[in-house]
């Protein structure tokens, strides 16, 4: 079974600065997908960014980018030019690419990000 670990329960960043959230995972599969979801105080789960394991290039979405290290099974999220609206819980998630391996997302325990004005 796959596991996802987020070792930072809480992080804080100054507005306009850059912060990196860590995520590691454990799997024996070679093909999979990785995601970062944001959960603001409204509690809705919002997809921030996704990465296909077969792609070497790191995904980027505006101020959000990832550092995907497949060999190390590491998938960190970098938020540049942090804004007050970035304050939320951030969850890293794994999903198998194989149809017979289950189709669910496996989530890490989350990192609470606080943004200081």
Partner 1 sequence: NAGVMQNPRHLVRRRGQEARLRCSPMKGHSHVYWYRQLPEEGLKFMVYLQKENIIDESGMPKERFSAEFPKEGPSILRIQQVVRGDSAAYFCASSTGQGGNTIYFGEGSWLTVV
Q: By C-beta, is 48 or 79 nearer to partner 1? A: 48
Q: How far apart are CA 10 and CA 27, in angstroms?
A: 25
Residues between 26 and 85 that touch partner 1 (CB under 8 A): 33, 37, 42-47, 50, 52
With beta carbons less than 8 A apart as the criterion, state whether 29 and 92 touch. no
108 forms part of the interface with partner 1 (CB under 8 A): yes
Structure tokens at 79: 């938020």
Return residues touching partner 1 (CB under 8 A). 33, 37, 42-47, 50, 52, 91, 95-99, 102-110
């Amino acid at each position: 079974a796959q596991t996802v670990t987020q070792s930072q329960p809480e992080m804080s960043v100054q507005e306009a600065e850059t912060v990196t959230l860590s995520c590691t995972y454990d799997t024996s599969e070679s093909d999979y997908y990785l995601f970062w979801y944001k959960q603001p105080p409204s509690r809705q789960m919002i997809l921030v960014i996704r990465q296909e394991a077969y792609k070497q290039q790191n995904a980027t979405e505006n101020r959000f980018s990832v550092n995907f290290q497949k060999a190390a099974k590491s998938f960190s999220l970098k938020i540049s030019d942090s804004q007050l609206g970035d304050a939320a819980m951030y969850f890293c998630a794994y999903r198998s690419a194989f149809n017979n391996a289950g189709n669910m997302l496996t989530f890490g325990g989350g990192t609470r990000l606080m943004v200081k004005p």
